[in-house]
């Protein structure tokens, strides 16, 4: 999701899909959602959900005077049948950051995330928490590399985020800090909170210096193992994007999607917004059906995390 600073009420649709059919299950905060082969289940029953992206929830809730907007957004979402929210569990460097230096956190901002999870739970909404950004909005991998450079590391580009040992250590520490956080509102550690549906390693990871996908695959494997060593309750997704197969060289270069599915610890395939939703509904259905068939062969569940559309001029919009 490449963010633009627009109105925070612009929410996009998230749909969790399963290959098999079944009855819709209640998604109240009492159980963990798990991937069981090609389906999601909660308390032993098939789980389906409709949701939205709202990256701004934590930063909004960090200001007590603005928390009413978070409460309103979540309650309105629940009233309209939405049951999953995808949002950020990161804000690196800059003003009002969650993590203003490696391992140093703004408690007020963390309390904002505590509040988000508490309100989501009240409204029966599950939450997907992304742990770092590929882009420099809210810091992202660029900020991590700059922190390492400031400590004397010979890092040449943002892609060193995936290979530099110090940078990876910074990220692993952030993961541990978030997962072991005890919510100041509910008293529940994040890693034990069924309100959280899944962790996302990164929002749209890309490594332009290695278009083979090997570097990202190695990073995913290492970080998935790290997450699972701390938290055995929650599902995990990589956050990679998906495209129309080999529709273009650009799509292929940033879409090593098949590789993430082979990494130990990955529970589902999270597809980004770049699949174009044409005016003909059959086109969209065809893309989802094709991806679902491939994932069924691999025994993986499928989560579409964002959506977009192509306007009359051919421009792709959406993803927020």
Whole-number pLDDT of residue 5: 38
Q: Is the pLDDT of residue 20 over 50?
A: no
Question: Which range of residues forms the domain containing residue 260?
Answer: 12-318
Residue 14 has pLDDT above 70, yes or no: no
Q: What is the pLDDT of residues 272-312, one digit of tens each?
A: 333 333 334 455 566 566 666 766 665 666 555 555 555 55
CB atoms within 10 A of CB 26: 12
- pLDDT band at 195, cuts 50/70/90? very high
The mean pLDDT of 181-210, rounded to a whole number, is 96
Say how far apart CA 54 and CA 57 lie, in whole Å.
Answer: 6
- Give the pLDDT score at 46: 92
Q: Are 200 and 270 in contact (CB under 8 A)?
A: yes
The answer to the question of residue 4 being in a domain is no
| pLDDT score of 212 | 86
Q: Is residue 3 part of a domain?
A: no
Q: Which residues of 59-87 are buried (b: 16+ CB within 10 A; e: fewer)?
A: bbbbeeeebebbbebbeebbeeebbbbbb
Q: 1 lies in a domain?
A: no
Predicted confidence (pLDDT) at residue 211 exceeds the cutoff of 80: yes
**Low-confidence winner among 86-90, 148-152, 309-313, 316-320 (lowest mean pLDDT):** 316-320
Residue 24 pLDDT greater than 70, yes or no:
no
**Does residue 302 sit within a domain?**
yes
- Would residue 5 count as lying in a domain? no
Total structural domains within the chain: 1
Rounded mean pLDDT of 130-145?
98
User: Which residues, including other chains, have CB under 8 Å from residue 301's CB and lie 6 or more apart?
Assistant: 16, 18, 19, 35, 36, 37, 38, 39, 40, 267, 268, 269, 295
Residue 13 pLDDT > 60, yes or no?
Answer: no
Q: Is residue 30 part of a domain?
A: yes
pLDDT at 153 over 50: yes
- Beta-bridge mates of residue 117: none
212 versus 248: the higher-pLDDT residue is: 212
Q: Establish if 7 belongs to a structural domain.
A: no
CA angle 96, 102, 107 (to 5 degrees): 40
CATH classification of the domain holding 184: 3.20.20.80
Cβ proximity of 91 and 108 under 8 Å: no
Over residues 232-242, the mean pLDDT reads 86
Residue 6 lies in a domain: no
List the Cα angle 109/27/242 in 5-degree steps: 70
């Amino acid at each position: 999701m490449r963010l633009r600073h627009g109105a925070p009420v612009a929410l996009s649709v998230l749909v969790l899909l399963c290959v098999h059919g079944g009855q819709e299950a209640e998604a109240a905060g009492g159980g963990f959602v798990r991937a069981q082969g090609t389906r999601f289940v909660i308390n032993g029953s098939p789980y389906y959900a409709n949701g939205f992206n709202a990256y701004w929830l934590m930063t909004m809730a960090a200001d007590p005077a603005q928390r009413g907007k978070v409460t309103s957004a979540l309650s309105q979402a629940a009233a309209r049948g939405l049951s999953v929210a995808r949002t950020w569990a990161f804000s690196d460097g800059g003003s009002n950051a969650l993590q203003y230096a490696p391992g140093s956190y703004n408690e007020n901002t963390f309390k904002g995330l505590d509040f988000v999870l508490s309100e989501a739970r009240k409204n029966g909404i599950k939450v997907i928490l992304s742990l770092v950004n590929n882009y420099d909005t809210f810091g992202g991998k660029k900020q991590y590399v700059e922190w390492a450079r400031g400590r004397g590391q010979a890092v040449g580009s943002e892609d060193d985020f995936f290979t530099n040992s110090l940078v990876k250590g910074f990220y692993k520490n952030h993961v541990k800090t978030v997962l072991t956080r005890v919510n100041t509102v509910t008293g529940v550690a994040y890693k034990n909170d069924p309100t959280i549906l899944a962790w996302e390693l990164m929002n749209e990871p890309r490594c332009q210096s290695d278009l083979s996908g090997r570097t990202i695959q190695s990073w995913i494997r290492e970080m998935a193992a790290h997450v699972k060593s701390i938290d055995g309750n929650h599902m995990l997704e990589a956050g990679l994007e998906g495209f129309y197969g080999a529709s273009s060289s650009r799509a292929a270069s940033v879409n090593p999607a098949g590789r993430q599915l082979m990494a130990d610890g990955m529970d589902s395939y999270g597809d980004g917004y770049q699949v174009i939703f044409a005016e003909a509904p059959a086109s969209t259905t065809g893309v989802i059906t094709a991806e679902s068939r491939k994932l069924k062969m691999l025994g993986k569940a499928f989560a579409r995390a964002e959506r977009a559309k192509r306007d009359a001029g051919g421009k792709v919009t959406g993803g927020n």
